[in-house]
Amino acid sequence: MLTSSDLLSDEYQTPETLLGSLDIFVFSLIAGLLIYWFFFRKEGFFRSDVFSTEPPPIRETSFIEKMKKTNRNVVVFYGSQTGTAEEFANRLTKDAHRYGMKGMATDPEEYDMSELSRLKEIPNSMAVFCMATYGEGGPTDNAQEFCDWMQGTDEDLEGVNFAVFGLGNKTYEHFNATGKYTDKRLAELRGKRVFDLGLGDDDSNLEEDFISWKEQFWPAVCEFFGVEATGEESSIRQFELVVHNDINMNQVYTGEMGRLKSFQTQKPPFDSKNLFLAPVTVNRKLNKGGNRHLMHIELDIMDSKIRYDAGDHVAVYPTNDAAVVNRIGERLGVDLDTVISLKNLDEESNKKHPFPCPSTYRTALTHYLDINNTPRKNVLYELSQYTSDPQEQENMRKMASASPEGKALYQSWVLDSERNILAILEDLPSLNPPIDHLCELLPRLQARYYSIASSNKVHPTSIHICAVVIEYTTKIGRVYKGVATNWLKNKEVTENGHKHTVPMYVRRSQFRLPFKPSNPVIMIGPGTGIAPFVGFIQERAWQKEQGKDVGETILYFGCRHKNEDFLYQQELEEFERAGVLTQLNVAFSRDQEHKIYVQHLLKKNKEQLWKLIHSNNAHIYVCGDARNMARDVHTAFYEIAEEVGGLTHTQAVDYFKKLVTKGRYSQDVWS
C-alpha cells in the first residue's frame, strides 16, 4: 500500500513510476474531497443542522470603529468570570441612554485593547471598566490579555476619560486587586479619571455597593461632560421576542453551551463552550450519620482526551429542578415548550442572544437561566411595571431604590427570606410579567467548580468529586435546595445499564504539589476542603511506588464527629499505615464540650511545623472556607512564627507573604 511518505519519496518521482505526478495530484485531490465530505458533512459542517444558513459575519476587532459607525460615546468593558460584572456593564449601558449618551457593553477579549488611546477621537467619550478580581488577586479569564497589555504598554492615554468599578470579596487577601490595578494603571498612562474608583464587596452586598457608586458616578459624568439626565426611567428592552411556530426541532438548542448538537456528537477539545458529557460511574454517600449528605462521585472521562492534574478544578453545568421550572410555567400560564429566540435589538452587538437560541422556554429555564438565587434589584424594578396592584408595585420599586427604607425592605423581604423568582411570583399575585422579558432579565446559570479529589497518575480515566448537598428550610418556611449538589445527588448509578451524565470540562489551577517530591507538604482541609488532598496523597503514594524520594506528607483534617463525617477515613488510615501519610491529624469539633478546630492542632504541633517550614522548605496548602477557617489558619501560622521563630507580628506577616510569592503557601478557598 502506498503511504503519503512513499508518494513524496524520490523513488516515486521517476518517470518509470506507476503513477505520474498529475495522477498523484488528482488522486490526492479526490481523496481529500472524499474525506472532507465524509467527516465534515456528517458532523453538520455544511450547517444543514443549525439555525442560520448564512456565513458567520466578519467580527469587528476595532471597538473605536464600531463606536464611530454606531454613534456611541460610552464603552463599558467588563472583566467577568460569573457574569456579574457583565450584568453591571449592561446596566451602565442602559443608564447611559437616560443621560443622553449612547453606550455599549464590551468584552475586552473580543477587541484590540491597544486602540484605547484612540478613544479621544470620539467627542465626549468615556470608557468604564467593571473589573472582577478572580482567584488569588488575578484578572478574570476574559480580562487577562487586557491586563497583560496594561502592564507592558507605555501608551499615552492623555485625553482618554475613564472610570472603574471593581468587584471583589473582602474574605480574600487581595481584595479587588484587579479593579485597583486598572484604575491606578490607566491614571499612570495619563488617562483622565472621571470619577473615583468604586469597590464592591461580595462578602457584604455587591449590588448595593454598585448602586451607591453609580448614583454618585452619573452626576459626576453629567458635570464632567455638561449633560443632563433626560428623565427617562422607562424600561428599556435589550432583546425582542421571535416565536418559531414552524421549525425543525433539529435546529433547536436543548442545553448545549456552544455548538448545536454538541451533546449528540461529542468532539474534543472540551472547554466551557464545548462540554463533555461524562458518565457517572460512582455516587456514594461518604458520611456514616448526621442529617447532612456528603457524597463522593466519579466521572468517566475515558473517551474524552481530557487531561488533568491533582489540584485542578472540574466545572460542572447543572440543570434547574424540573418541578420549579414547571411551577414558573404554571404561574405565568405559558406553554413552556414554545420555541423562541430572543434577538438583540442592537444589530451591531456581538451578543446576539442572552442564551443559545432558538430554544424553548423550558430549556432556557432548565439549562440557561438562574431561577434559584434571589433576584437583583434591577430585576425587581423592571418587573414592577407588570403588577396590577398599586401597593405591590410601590413595594417592588421601593426595594429597587437606594432609599434606607427600600434597602431595609429588600434585605428582609428578598435576601434574608431567600426568595427566588418563583417565590416572588407566588407571593405577589398581581405580578404577571411576559415570560420572554423575565428570561431576558434573569442572569445566566453558572458552572459550579469543584476541587478534583483524585490524581491523574492513579485515575487517568476518571475525575472524582467530593461535595455536600445543600438543603435547608428558610425563614419563611420554604425549602431551599442547592441547584448543583441536589442535581448531582440524583445522578444515581443503576444496574440497568443506563448511566447518568454530567456536562463538564477541566479548569486548570495553580494549586500544585511541589516540583520536587522530596519537599515536605502540610495540607489543611476541613470538611469537603479535603478534596484536592485526596488527589495529592494518591499522587505521593504513586511517586513512592515509582521509587522517588518523597518528603513528609502531613494532613490536618476537621469534621464534626468521628463516627459521622470523618470523610475518606478508611482510605486515609490505609495511607497512614502504608507510610504515605506521615501524619494524620483530625480535629473532631463537636466530640467534646469545647470545640476543636484544625488551627488548634496546628498550634499544638508548632515546633515541628516551624522546623518543616523554616528549615526543610515545606509547602503549605489550605483548602476550604475563606471567611473563617483560612483566616484562622493564617493567624495560627503567624503565631507559630512569633512563638517559635521569634519573629514580631509584622515580620511574621511578611514571612508568610514571601512564602505565597514563592509558591510555598497556596490556597484553594471559597466564601
Catalytically annotated residues: 451, 623, 668, 670
* pLDDT given at position 36: 46
Is 175 one of the annotated binding-site residues? yes
Best CA proximity match to 668, nearest among 448, 446, 452: 452
Q: What are phi and psi of 2, to 5 degrees?
A: -85, 130
Confidence grade of residue 58 (pLDDT, cut at 50, 70, 90): low
Is 173 one of the annotated binding-site residues? yes
Is 17 one of the annotated binding-site residues? no
Confidence grade of residue 346 (pLDDT, cut at 50, 70, 90): confident
Question: Do the domains 63-225 and 236-242+321-446 sit in the same CATH topology, yes or no?
Answer: no
Handedness of CA 563, 566, 567, 568 (dihedral sign): negative
Is 599 one of the annotated binding-site residues? yes
Is 560 one of the annotated binding-site residues? no
Is 24 one of the annotated binding-site residues? no
Homologous superfamily (CATH) for 63-225: Flavodoxin domain (3.40.50.360)
* pLDDT given at position 12: 29
632 CB neighbour count, 10 Å cutoff: 15
* pLDDT tens, residue by residue, 282-300: 999 999 999 999 999 999 9
> Does 3.40.190.290 match the CATH number of domain 521-669?
no
Homologous superfamily (CATH) for 236-242+321-446: NADPH-cytochrome p450 Reductase; Chain A, domain 3 (1.20.990.10)
**Cell digits of residue 464:** 472524582
| pLDDT surpasses 70 at 26 | no
Is 58 one of the annotated binding-site residues? no
Provide the Cα torsion 104, 107, 109, 113; round to 10°.
40
| pLDDT surpasses 50 at 482 | yes
**Cell digits of residue 620:** 503549605
637 CB neighbour count, 10 Å cutoff: 26
pTM of the predicted model, to two decimals?
Answer: 0.88
Residues 6+ apart with CB under 8 A from 178: 79, 131, 132, 133, 134, 137, 138, 139, 140, 143, 147, 166, 168
Domain chopping of the chain, boundaries: 63-225, 236-242+321-446, 267-318+447-509, 521-669
CA 246 to chain centroid, in Å, comes to: 36
Question: Under CATH, to which class is 267-318+447-509 assigned?
Answer: mainly beta
Give, for 614, the enclosing helix (H) or strand (E).
helix 606-614
Q: How far apart are CA 371 and CA 355, in angstroms?
A: 14
Is 484 one of the annotated binding-site residues? yes
Q: How far apart are CA 488 and CA 495, in angstroms?
A: 18
> Is the separation of the CB atoms in 316 and 503 below 8 Å?
yes
* pLDDT given at position 287: 96
Is 281 one of the annotated binding-site residues? no
Is 451 one of the annotated binding-site residues? yes
| pLDDT surpasses 50 at 19 | no
> Is the separation of the CB atoms in 534 and 568 below 8 Å?
yes
| pLDDT surpasses 60 at 8 | no
Please tell me the chain's helix, strand, coil percentages from 3-state DSSP, rounded to the nearest 5.
40, 20, 40
> Is the separation of the CB atoms in 118 and 159 below 8 Å?
no
Is 449 one of the annotated binding-site residues? yes
**Cell digits of residue 9:** 519519496
Is 482 one of the annotated binding-site residues? yes
Averaged confidence pLDDT in the chain:
91
* pLDDT given at position 28: 55
DSSP string, 169-218: -TTSSSTTHHHHHHHHHHHHTT-EESSPPEEEETTS-HHHHHHHHHHHHH
Handedness of CA 114, 115, 118, 119 (dihedral sign): negative
> Is the separation of the CB atoms in 630 and 664 below 8 Å?
no
Provide the Cα torsion 284, 289, 292, 295; round to 10°.
-20
> Is the separation of the CB atoms in 588 and 559 below 8 Å?
yes
Length of the chain: 671
Span of 50-59, 304-313, 563-572, 593-602 with lowest mean pLDDT: 50-59
* pLDDT given at position 517: 98
Is 133 one of the annotated binding-site residues? yes
Sheet holding 619-625, edge to edge: 583-588, 553-559, 521-524, 619-625, 665-670
> Is the separation of the CB atoms in 321 and 367 below 8 Å?
no
* pLDDT tens, residue by residue, 419-463: 999 999 999 999 999 999 999 999 999 999 999 999 999 999 999
